[in-house]
Amino acid sequence: MLIGDVSCAASNGYNPVLTTDQHHYDAQVVNQVGKGGYAIYTDGPYDTSRRTKTRDADGSDYTNAYVRVLQTKTTKTGSYVKLRCFNKTLGWMNTHGIKKVSFATVASGVMKQANFSGSAALISAGKTKPTVVNAGMADTTTHTANSSSGTVLYPLASLQKAMTGAIIQQLISQHKLAPSTPLSRYYPQVSGSQQITVKQLLSMTSGITNSEQLPTSAPTESGAVALAIKTLKVSSDKTFNYSDDDYVLLAGIISKVTGKSYAANVQSRLLSKLGLTHTVLVNQSIPALKRKTAYSYTLTAANAYAQPQTVGNARMAAIVGAGNVLTTPTDFTAIIQGLQNGKVLSKPQYQRLLHYGGTYSGGFYVSRSGVKFNNGSFSGLNYHTGYYATTGNYHAAIVFGNRGPLKNNAARKDFVYQLYRVAVYY
């Protein structure tokens, strides 16, 4: 093929391609000096055909952009690389217009460009060990940087619901519970509980709505469930409606079915099985933490880390099973992977967990074909956790942020998706 290309190009007076390299790697567009910078040619390296005599685009339009090199071809005028930026193929540019970078550098660069502060774990092309990237500060008073190594913990918020869903699935698989089991078996005091099933709680189609709980002191697990029951409302509308109380009630059901606390179940059924030591449950018995909990910060024109705040133990303890965990992106990645590698759930059990509802199921949004996702936050604070992945975690982004707003007031969930796209295309 190469010989044929050479003879054809030479016979038409164009530059023949001397060598072709199929090696892929990540790079950044640099050195774009002069008018327009290095030329970009859509159909091949410069002057290798009639269509590559003049530039189709300017390299300067992509200065500092991160790209994927798909192929390299060398002619007598130099070496040229075929570039893709995310899912857009740009064309061919002289290799002097790029510099090779690592996958982690691409992710870190995207974080910097977005003014992101936090920690993320990315899975690219099915790797079992995630690439961890960090940006910014967790605690400016102690000069503690954001990290996923376990030195810093983050409020997991609503991403915890996947943990609660997994334990419920274990109990269903052990025939200790059924999707059709009515809520009235465990909490008959809830209005309409005879018509509310475990499946509906898992899919948030129970008709239950809740108010945000802001107690002055941390309740026990049973106290948190009692608080939810006291304040929740039940509607006859059984379409999807996001409610923390669905999962607070599931946490209570786990305790009633097993005769052990929700925290004890998380420890034995998830954390111990996965060997995780950087995940902590917050309840009335607040653990003595040896690690920092990241502060929530606000980015202002005058101060990059203004208004330091924490979520508070009482607020977290009040949503047992739905937002009372402190952890790291790395630990949560292991939990997510454990849901389908046999350590927590088998693949069939995991698939069942994802099919209790068409919008939301078992702690994940499942409304987009081939992917699942969720986001978590606490109102009034700038913590944000996000998870976006292919259903089999071949590509995944687990992103914990502790500062806002992002550049141009970008939505946090959109930034999680952007890092997922980094995992997909780089």
User: The CATH number of the domain where 110 resides is what?
Assistant: 3.40.710.10
Q: What domain count does the chain have? A: 2
pLDDT in tens, 115-133: 999 999 999 998 989 999 9
Domain boundary among 101, 118, 146: 101
How large is the angle between the packed helices 161-173 and 244-258, nearest 10 degrees? 40
136 domain-assigned: yes
For the chain, what's the residue count?
426
Domain boundary among 46, 81, 101: 101
161 domain-assigned: yes
Could you tell me if 118 and 403 are in contact, meaning their C-beta atoms sit under 8 angstroms apart? yes
Q: Does 16 lie in the same domain as 160?
A: no
- Return the pLDDT at 1: 38
As given in the structure block, the two tokens for residue 371 are 């992917």
Q: Is the pLDDT of residue 137 over 50?
A: yes
C-alpha 25/C-alpha 243 separation (Å) is: 44
Q: Does 97 lie in the same domain as 110?
A: no
pLDDT in tens, 237-282: 999 999 999 999 999 999 999 999 999 999 999 999 999 999 999 9
pLDDT in tens, 357-374: 999 999 999 999 999 999
As given in the structure block, the two tokens for residue 74 are 């060398």
Could you tell me if 406 and 412 are in contact, meaning their C-beta atoms sit under 8 angstroms apart? yes
User: 94: helix, coil or strand?
Assistant: strand
User: 372: helix, coil or strand?
Assistant: strand
Q: Is the pLDDT of residue 28 over 50?
A: yes
Res. 13 pLDDT band, cuts 50 70 90: confident
Q: Is the pLDDT of residue 304 over 60?
A: yes
pLDDT in tens, 75-130: 999 999 999 999 999 999 999 999 999 999 999 999 999 999 999 999 999 898 99
Q: Does 309 lie in the same domain as 277?
A: yes
The secondary structure element, H or E, covering residue 349 is helix 347-353
75 domain-assigned: yes
Res. 12 pLDDT band, cuts 50 70 90: confident
CA angle 358, 360, 362 (to 5 degrees): 115
Q: Does 109 lie in the same domain as 93?
A: no
Cβ count near 8 (within 10 Å): 14
pLDDT in tens, 280-302: 999 877 666 678 999 999 999 99
pLDDT in tens, 143-176: 999 999 999 999 999 999 999 999 999 999 999 9
pLDDT in tens, 320-352: 999 999 999 999 999 999 999 999 999 999 999
Handedness of CA 151, 155, 161, 167 (dihedral sign): positive
- Return the pLDDT at 153: 97
Domain boundary among 101, 130, 150: 101
Structural domain that includes position 136:
105-166+256-425
Q: Burial level of 230, CB count in 10 A (0-12/13-18/19+)?
A: exposed
- Return the pLDDT at 291: 80
Could you tell me if 137 and 128 are in contact, meaning their C-beta atoms sit under 8 angstroms apart? no
Q: Does 305 lie in the same domain as 415?
A: yes
- CA nearest 220: which of 315, 316, 312, 285? 285
Q: Does 112 lie in the same domain as 93?
A: no
As given in the structure block, the two tokens for residue 406 are 């992002």
- Return the pLDDT at 211: 86
216 domain-assigned: no
Average pLDDT, the chain: 95
204 domain-assigned: no
Q: Does 138 lie in the same domain as 83?
A: no
Q: Does 285 lie in the same domain as 143?
A: yes
Integer angstrom CA distances of residue 157 from 106, 284, 323, 327, 358: 27, 17, 4, 10, 22
Q: Does 340 lie in the same domain as 390?
A: yes
- Return the pLDDT at 2: 41
Q: Does 331 lie in the same domain as 265?
A: yes
Report, as an integer, the average pLDDT of 53-77.
97
> End-to-end CA distance of the chain, in Å?
28
267 domain-assigned: yes
C-alpha 92/C-alpha 216 separation (Å) is: 62
E strand spans, 167-254: 208-209, 233-234
Q: Which amino acid is at 403?
A: R
173 domain-assigned: no
Q: Which amino acid is at 231?
A: T
pLDDT in tens, 372-407: 999 999 999 999 999 999 999 999 999 999 999 999
Specify the CATH number for the domain of residue 59: 2.30.30.170
Q: Is the peptide bond before 45 cis (omega within 30 degrees of 0)?
A: no
188 domain-assigned: no
